Each structure stands twice: as structure tokens, then as C-alpha cells.
């Protein structure tokens, strides 16, 4: 066992212990000197992030220690990486411009993008170039020339929301002349199909409260979900309030099942029954269970009659009357690899016990991903437990601590992008002259003017010429990297504003250094679902080097475009924070809770709120079950739609009108599979996507200086691969190097390489180049889930692995560009 590996395992076990607090102490001061801070001298400063609320210790203007807040029941062991991200060598220090762009102008030598040849410029020069390009592209190509649909996880905070700020600047400065994006990479397929089926987004909504699950659920199923890993993270500031309930559930000794190609942290935590399913075949497995229920008359006909529509249209497909193929347990077993007897056993177990089917999102981040959650809802409907305490299904127990009971608390307002917001779904903003489904960015570049389908509409891809990316890392999050490297060359100008030298920054023309959330003031709610506190995110240190706040950068751009006042509305940082807070004050009276004035709040740092008893008893769809007429769902029929007339009308071959098993474009286990191994591109245990990959945390999980690649012992042996070896993972789309972890925790036929490893091509800018570090999106397919949702398929990829016997090339991704 390699040294790295044992550390990796130790640290993983550490995550499961609730006593993480003590170990989160100081990271030795390092690396940075220039521009360090004067703010917040002496004592601890409270701030927060996607990883939770923390206290920062500052000495002589340097941030030197990080400790979790006492109110965090299960701090993330990633916290030390948060501190290190400020001082890491990957930090962007100054505005930088690609040499060819600076010397020859926009569109020059685009094939050399990514080779790292940058020149430092002043902020003044950088802003002149940025504003000049925005004007030029707008004047030359019209309202669809600039792509500002910039997607990504940015940082927490209601003001320095860089994506809203970008679009706000272009809304006021260029009258909305930009192309936007719709949806996200997390739940693209589900957030489009679920409104047709359940009348709501489902994926970002409160779940049956966990105290109810602890009390009433007999069988807890995690279906492609690893909440012990993923609940470390919140979109606002993480609360981690699900962890104590997970402990409680574990103490009851009730049954937990994990259906996953990997023995997950969650499976280990609960000592769960681990059922390995062949990746991308869960719909078949669900159909096999549904068929057993139907054949043995175990389905809840009364529930189906009263609360759903379309079961009768689905039955002929289930029985095979419509296509000659009964979706029996035996049929399913052939496809998904779970023995038929086990499938039948699951049907009976689920039916005879109060069962909660809790699904993660990987299942819908696959070709035909819409089907997985639609079929899960159908299965839950056949079990008839939706709306009963502890029964039914949940699509957000693994995300941002879904199911943690909600406090009676105020919700803060935040900066708007100036476009018309979609109620209840702020990210579905309608700002912009046109919009594309977010993951279709490369299709857009390759096919300007071409038609595409999306949720019943046909639209045209705009002809964009320039991209402005903030708070996201497309050269990490987007699929099929080599195709993307080529497509990116169609942009005449690419601007990236970030605080780290990500691959996206390396593939840009103009790079602007932003501050981290710890070098500015902001406010945020704590707990996406629990909403248990309101936090003053106080500046820990002054901006390092020449980094500037996103708000200030975009205010200057708006000003140079002649709309500075419309952008700032005459308010500075603290002015805005007070305004966002005043929304909370107003709600205080209505909700009968005490909300102090801003100054008292700011002084105090954090306000916590009570969780009412009724929130602990919340049962999702309890009202609907009680009275389906008075509490109808938001679907056309007001009921759960197992058959959707609306989807039928769209007439999509790749998304029929009821849940259907459809072969993905590629998977393992078929006679014509070109490669033998499925690539499980799950979310990383030690990062948030690519965030913190540029920090010292990497030392704790790297194997042979690269991303780990988990491989089953049998597959490793067949290839002569030993633990700790450098391996090449490859398919027809790309190739990467990784360090092998030989393990029984991954099913045979599957390798796991986490998403978010920084792309480190040996020849930057050359499509097909070997990636020396391990960006799994070198291997994944870049197609839409279907014509309905056009979501990404980050979990669709098959490949092979071999021992790498040559001298492995150096990893350059973490050194910054060469010309600094």
C-alpha cells in the first residue's frame, strides 16, 4: 500500500468521525507575501463557505488558522484547503493576457490557447481590453455575440455572486445583449422532467424531515447516492445538520441498502447492504422490481388510482404486451447484473416495509437520464407510500443537507442580474437575448444557426464570438475535453475571472484576478434547507496581490459602458449588505421572530433560529395524500404523471411518454461495447469539483502525484496493475494518467476517477494530448441526455486502463502559466 493511499483511507475514515474539530487547526504560513492584509488583526473572524461556517485566525495580516464554528455538528475535513486556497501557488496574482492576443489582437493564434504563454498587464490595460472587446463584439455581431451564460459553483455570498454581477453589468451596460444559459450540470435532466411528472423541480426541495425518517422508515435505500460524502457541501453555507440524524438512524439498526457500483462512504458508515448494479442500467433494475410487484399483485392499485394518471398506459410496456418484452426480473438481471432473485427480494422487501427510496443525481447525469427519476417515482407510486411518514422517494437527501428540518428564519435577498427571475428558480433567469441549455455550449460553438430541441421547443444556436466566464471552470465541468479544446478555438475572445489558474484560465485570452470570499464582506444564509442561521461573512484579510472584488470589477465595466449608476444604484459593499439584510428584518415581523438591526447583527456575526416542532414532523406530499383535490400537484392532471400527454405531444424518440429503458450511447456489458470498463466520474471526496484541487489537500489523496483511479483487484490483476502504479485510462475520446488504488470497494468492470481533477495536458492546446494529472472529462461523452432536457452526460463513459510504463510526464497544472 502506498503512503498516499493509506493517508487517503485514514482521512476518509476521519471524515466519518464527528470529532473533526480539533484537527482542523492552523496550516503553516506559506508562500505568499505581497499585498497581505491589514484587516481583522488579532482574534478570530467568522466567515463561511460551501464547506461551512468557520473561524479564521489572523496574525500580522496573514490568515494562519481555521477552526470550525461551534454550531457545526460535523465540520468538513476539507476546511484546511479553504485557507490554503488563498495562499496557494495556483493563485492568480495579476491581470494577464495571452501573448498572441495582446500582440496581434482578438482571434490571433487561437490554436495556441492553453499553452500558457501569458503577459502581465496593469489593471488599467486589462479593463481597456475587456471593455473594448465587449463593445467590439457587440457592435460587430449584435446581441448574440457575447456568451455570458457562465456556469459554476463560485463562492457563497449574496452580493459577490459573480455570475449575477456579470449579467447585471451586461444588462445595464449592453442592454441585455448577451447569450445566457438555462439549467445546471447538477440536475439538468431531473429539473426538466420532474415538473412534468410531479409538478415541481423536486431536486431542490425539502424532503420528508429526517426525524420522521429515523422514526418511521424501516428500509432506507440510497440509490446512486452518497450523502456522507456529498452533504459536506452546501450551495449557500453548509450546515451539516443531516449528520446527527444519520448517526441516529444508524443506532436504530434498521436496514440500509446502497445501490451503487462503488462501496461508498455512506455504505461504510451504515455498514449497509451493498448492491452493485452495472452502471447506467438502473432503469432496467427498477423495471424488474416494478414487474415483480405487478406480476405478484403487490402493487398498490388504490394509490395508483387515486394519486396518479397513466399507469394503465404504462402496464402494457411493463408486461411486454406492447413490445413483446416483459420487463421481468430475469430480463432486468441480464442488463443490470443484479441476480433475478435479488430483484424479486427487493420488490418484496420494499413492499412489506416502510421504504424510503433516496436517490442521488448521477443516475440522471447519463444518456437518457430523464428516465431514472421518472421510473423511481413510478416505482414509489406502485409501492403506494408517497406522502406517508418515512415512505416514498427523495431526490435531495444527499444534497446540501436536504431533510434537515427547516428553522423559522428569514431568507436574505441578494444581488439580481437585472433579468426577469423565474419564481422559485433563480438560476433559470430569463435575462439575455438568447439562451441555451447550459451543457450544450460546445454544440453551440460547432453549430451556429442550427436547430436544437429543448423541452418541447425548437430553438436555434446563436453564433457567439466571445465568452466571459466567472465563478466556474468549464475546462473541468464540461464533457469530452478534446472536442472542447477544438471548439473553444471558435471564440475570438475569452475572458476568465477567477482567483486560481484553472485550466479555463489557461485557455483564456484575458485573465482577471478576483478575490476569494475571505477578502471581502458579504452575508449568507446557513443551511440550504435548514436555513438555521444568517451569517456575516466578514473579511478575513485584505485582497492578496492585485486581486479585486467581482463587484468592483463589474461596477467598473458597467461604468465604462456608461451605466455605472444603474449597476451600483449608488450603493457600495456595505450599502448592499444592509439592503439584503433589511429583507430579513421585514420577514422577522411577519414570521414572529426577533431579527436585530444590522449593526447588532454585524457585531454578533451569526444569528441562529429555532427549528419548530412541526418542521421536524414534515412529510413531503403528506398534504397531497390527505387531500388530492384540495392540494393538487402542479402537473396538468394535478396528479403524479406516469404517462405524460405533454411529453407525448413533443414526439421525441429519445424521451417517450412513460418511463422506458433505452440503451445509452455506450455502456459496459453489451456484446458491442468497445471498452471493458465503466468510468465512474463521481463527485470528489476531497474537493468541491475542481475547487481546492490547487491546494495542499491534494497531498492527502494523490497517488503517484496524480488523481487516484480506483480499480477492482480482479481488473487490476488482469492488467498487471499494482496499487500505486501510474496508469493510463483511455478511450477514443481521450487519455489521462492517474495513480491506481487497487480495491474491493469498486465493482469489477468499473473504475472510479473523480470529476474535478485539474486538466494538465502535456501539450497545452493540442486536442488529444495526454492529460498528466487526471481530468475525467477527457473520457466522457458530450451529448444531451435527450431532446427533452439536453442535460450533460458526465456519467456516461467507458474506457480501458493500462499500466503506464514510460517515464510519466510532469504535472504542470498547478504551477501557473509560464510567462509570469
Q: How far apart are CA 699 and CA 30, in angstroms?
A: 15
The minimum distance between CB 229 and ligand PGD, in angstroms, equals: 5
708 vs 723: CA distance, rounded Å: 10
Burial of 406 (0-12, 13-18, 19+ CB in 10 A): buried
Cβ proximity to Mo ion, 186 vs 731, nearer residue: 186
| CB nearer ligand PGD, residue 483 or residue 687 | 687
Q: What's the min distance (Å) between Cβ of 252 and ligand PGD? A: 23
Query: Which residues of this protein are in contact with Mo ion, per CB under 5 A?
Result: 186
H helices present in 182-280, as ranges:
188-197, 210-216, 227-230, 242-252, 265-270
Q: Which is nearer to Mo ion, 186 or 525 (CB)?
A: 186
Instruction: Tell me the β-bridge partners of 496.
Output: 469, 511
**Residue 52 binding: pick among ligand PGD, Mo ion, none (C-beta 5-8 Å cut-off by kind):** none
> Of 79, 70, 80, 73, which Cα lies nearest the Cα of 30?
80
- Between residues 272 and 682, which has the closer beta carbon with respect to Mo ion? 682
Which among ligand PGD, Mo ion, none contacts residue 360 (Cβ within 5 to 8 A by kind)?
ligand PGD
Beta bridge partners of 63: 58
Helix (H, G, I), strand (E, B) or coil at 447: coil
**Sign (positive or negative) of CA dihedral 132, 133, 134, 138:** positive
* 232 interacts with, out of ligand PGD, Mo ion, none, CB within 5 to 8 A per kind: ligand PGD
Contacts to ligand PGD by CB under 6 A? 152-155, 160, 162, 185-186, 223-226, 229-230, 232-233, 259-262, 264, 277, 279-280, 282, 360-363, 365, 398-399, 470-473, 476-477, 497-500, 502, 514, 517, 550, 680-685, 687-691, 755-756, 776-777, 780, 794-795
- Closer CB to Mo ion, 438 or 541, in the complex: 438
Cβ–Cβ < 8 Å for 541, 114: no
Question: Of how many residues is the chain composed?
Answer: 820
φ/ψ of 738, rounded to 5, equals -150, 175
Q: Which residue in 709, 796, 723 sits closest to 757, CA to CA?
A: 709
Strands 708-712 and 750-752, sheet pairing: antiparallel
Residue 718's contacts (CB-CB under 8 Å, 6 or more residues apart) are none
First to last CA, the chain: 39
Task: Enumerate the H helices of 629-699 as residue ranges.
Answer: 645-650
Q: Cα angle at 91 between 88 and 96, to 5 degrees? A: 160
**Shortest Cβ 186–Mo ion spacing (Å):** 3
Nearer CB in complex with Mo ion: 50/465: 50
Considering CB distances under 5 to 8 angstroms, the limit depending on partner class, which of Mo ion, ligand PGD, none binds residue 230? ligand PGD
Alpha helices in 472-547 (DSSP H): 474-477, 481-488, 503-506
Active-site residue numbers? 151, 153
User: Which three three-digit cell numbers place residue 714?
Assistant: 480482479
Cβ at position 649, least distance to Mo ion in Å: 30
DSSP code of 453?
Answer: E
Which CB, 497 or 785, lies closer to ligand PGD?
497
* Residue 470 cell numbers, joined: 466567472
- Our CB check for ligand PGD shows the closer of 280 and 308 to be 280
Residue 185 beta carbon to Mo ion: minimum distance, rounded to whole angstroms: 5
CA pair distance 716, 633, nearest whole angstrom: 50
Angle at the Cα of 784 (from 491 to 683), degrees rounded to 5? 90
Query: Residue 428 CB, nearest distance to ligand PGD (Å)?
Result: 15
Strand blocks (E) in 37-80: 44-49, 52-59, 62-68
Nearer to Mo ion, 186 or 378 (CB): 186
Least spacing, CB of residue 240 vs ligand PGD, in Å:
12
Range list of H helices, 418-549: 441-446, 474-477, 481-488, 503-506
Residue 279 interacts with which of ligand PGD, Mo ion, none, CB < 5 to 8 Å by class: ligand PGD
Cα distances (Å, whole numbers) of residue 44 to 37, 74, 236, 411, 580: 14, 20, 22, 26, 25
Instruction: Report in angstroms how near the CB of residue 224 gets to ligand PGD at its nearest.
Output: 3
Residue 685 contact among ligand PGD, Mo ion, none, beta carbon within 5 to 8 Å by kind: ligand PGD
Cα–Cα dist 724/2, whole Å: 6
Closest approach of ligand PGD to the CB of residue 407, in Å: 22
Amino acid at each position: 500500500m502506498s503512503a498516499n493511499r493509506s493517508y487517503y483511507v485514514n482521512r476518509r475514515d476521519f471524515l466519518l468521525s464527528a470529532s473533526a474539530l480539533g484537527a482542523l487547526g492552523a496550516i503553516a504560513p506559506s508562500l505568499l507575501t505581497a499585498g497581505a492584509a491589514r484587516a481583522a488583526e488579532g482574534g478570530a473572524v467568522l466567515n463561511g463557505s460551501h464547506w461551512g461556517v468557520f473561524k479564521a485566525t489572523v496574525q500580522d495580516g496573514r490568515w494562519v488558522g481555521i477552526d470550525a464554528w461551534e454550531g457545526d455538528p460535523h465540520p468538513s475535513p476539507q476546511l484546511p484547503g479553504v485557507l490554503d486556497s488563498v495562499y496557494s501557488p495556483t493563485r492568480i496574482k495579476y491581470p494577464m493576457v495571452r501573448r498572441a492576443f495582446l500582440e496581434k489582437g482578438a482571434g490571433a493564434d487561437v490554436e495556441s490557447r492553453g499553452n500558457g504563454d501569458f503577459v502581465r498587464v496593469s489593471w488599467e490595460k486589462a479593463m481597456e481590453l475587456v471593455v473594448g472587446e465587449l463593445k467590439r463584439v457587440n457592435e460587430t455581431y449584435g446581441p448574440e455575440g457575447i456568451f455570458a451564460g457562465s456556469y459554476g459553483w463560485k463562492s457563497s455570498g449574496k452580493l459577490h455572486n459573480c455570475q449575477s454581477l456579470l449579467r447585471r453589468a451586461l444588462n445595464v451596460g449592453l442592454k441585455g445583449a448577451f447569450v445566457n444559459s438555462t439549467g445546471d450540470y447538477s440536475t439538468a435532466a431531473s429539473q426538466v422532467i420532474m415538473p412534468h411528472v410531479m409538478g415541481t423541480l423536486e431536486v431542490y426541495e425539502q424532503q420528508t424531515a429526517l426525524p420522521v425518517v429515523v422514526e418511521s422508515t424501516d428500509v432506507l435505500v440510497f440509490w446512486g447516492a452518497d450523502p456522507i460524502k456529498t452533504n459536506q457541501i452546501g450551495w449557500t453555507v453548509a450546515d451539516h445538520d443531516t449528520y446527527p440524524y444519520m448517526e441516529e438512524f444508524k443506532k436504530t439498526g434498521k436496514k440500509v441498502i446502497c445501490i451503487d457500483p462503488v462501496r461508498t462512504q455512506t455504505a461504510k458508515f451504515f455498514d449497509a447492504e451493498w448492491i452493485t448494479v452495472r452502471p447506467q442500467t438502473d432503469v432496467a433494475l427498477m423495471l424488474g422490481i416494478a414487474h415483480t410487484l405487478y406480476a405478484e399483485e403487490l402493487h398498490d392499485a388504490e394509490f395508483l388510482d387515486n394519486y396518479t394518471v397513466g399507469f394503465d398506459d404504462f402496464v402494457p410496456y411493463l408486461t411486454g404486451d406492447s413490445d413483446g418484452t416483459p420487463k421481468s426480473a430475469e430480463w432486468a438481471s441480464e442488463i443490470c447484473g443484479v441476480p433475478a432473485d435479488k430483484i424479486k427480494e427487493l420488490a418484496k422487501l420494499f413492499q412489506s416495509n416502510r421504504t424510503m427510496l433516496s436517490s442521488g443525481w448521477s443516475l440522471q447525469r447519463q444518456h437518457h437520464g430523464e428516465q431514472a427519476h421518472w421510473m423511481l417515482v413510478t416505482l414509489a407510486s406502485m409501492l403506494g407510500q408517497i406522502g406517508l411518514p418515512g415512505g416514498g422517494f427523495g431526490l435531495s437527501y444527499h444534497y446540501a443537507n436536504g431533510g434537515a428540518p427547516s428553522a423559522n428564519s428569514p431568507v436574505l435577498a441578494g444581488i439580481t442580474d437585472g433579468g426577469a427571475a423565474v419564481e422559485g428558480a433563480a438560476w433559470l433567469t430569463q435575462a439575455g437575448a438568447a439562451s441555451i441549455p447550459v451543457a450544450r455550449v460546445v454544440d453551440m460553438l460547432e453549430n451556429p444557426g442550427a436547430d436544437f430541441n429543448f423541452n418541447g421547443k425548437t430553438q436555434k444556436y446563436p453564433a457567439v464570438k466571445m465568452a466571459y466566464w466567472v465563478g466556474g471552470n468549464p475546462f473541468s465541468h464540461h464533457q469530452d475535453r478534446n472536442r472542447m479544446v477544438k471548439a473553444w478555438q471558435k471564440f475570438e475572445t475569452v475572458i476568465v475571472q477567477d482567483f486560481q489558474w484553472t485550466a479555463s484560465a489557461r485557455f483564456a485570452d484575458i485573465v482577471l484576478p478576483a478575490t476569494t470570499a475571505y477578502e471581502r464582506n458579504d452575508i449568507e444564509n446557513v443551511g440550504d434547507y435548514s436555513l438555521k442561521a444568517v451569517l456575516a461573512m466578514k473579511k478575513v484579510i485584505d485582497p492578496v496581490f492585485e486581486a479585486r472584488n467581482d463587484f468592483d470589477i463589474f461596477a467598473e465595466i458597467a461604468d465604462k459602458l456608461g451605466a455605472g449608476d444603474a449597476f451600483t444604484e449608488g450603493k457600495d459593499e456595505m450599502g448592499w449588505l444592509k439592503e439584503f439584510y433589511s429583507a430579513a428584518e421585514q420577514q422577522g415581523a411577519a414570521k414572529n421572530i426577533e431579527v436585530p438591526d444590522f449593526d447588532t447583527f454585524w457585531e454578533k456575526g451569526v444569528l441562529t433560529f429555532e427549528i419548530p416542532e412541526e418542521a421536524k414532523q414534515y412529510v413531503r406530499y403528506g398534504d397531497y395524500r390527505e387531500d388530492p383535490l384540495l392540494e393538487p400537484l402542479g402537473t396538468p392532471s394535478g396528479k403524479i404523471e406516469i404517462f405524460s400527454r405533454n411529453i407525448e405531444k413533443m414526439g421525441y424518440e429519445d424521451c417517450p411518454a412513460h418511463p422506458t429503458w433505452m440503451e445509452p450511447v455506450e455502456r459496459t456489458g453489451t456484446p458491442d461495447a468497445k471498452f471493458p470498463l465503466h468510468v465512474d466520474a463521481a463527485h470528489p471526496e476531497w474537493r468541491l469539483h475542481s475547487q481546492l484541487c490547487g491546494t495542499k489537500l491534494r497531498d492527502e489523496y494523490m497517488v503517484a502525484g496524480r488523481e487516484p483511479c480506483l480499480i477492482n483487484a480482479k481488473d487490476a490483476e488482469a492488467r498487471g496493475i499494482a496499487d500505486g502504479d501510474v496508469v493510463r485510462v483511455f478511450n477514443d475520446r481521450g487519455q489521462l494518467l492517474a495513480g491506481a488504488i487497487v480495491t474491493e470497494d469498486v465493482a469489477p468492470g468499473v473504475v472510479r476517477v473523480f470529476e474535478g481533477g485539474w486538466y494538465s495536458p502535456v501539450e497545452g492546446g493540442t486536442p488529444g494530448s495526454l492529460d498528466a494529472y487526471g481530468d475525467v472529462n477527457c473520457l466522457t461523452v458530450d451529448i444531451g441526455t435527450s431532446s427533452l432536457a439536453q442535460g450533460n452526460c458526465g456519467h456516461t463513459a467507458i474506457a480501458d486502463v493500462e499500466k503506464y510504463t514510460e517515464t510519466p510526464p510532469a504535472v504542470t497544472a498547478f504551477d501557473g502559466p509560464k510567462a509570469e
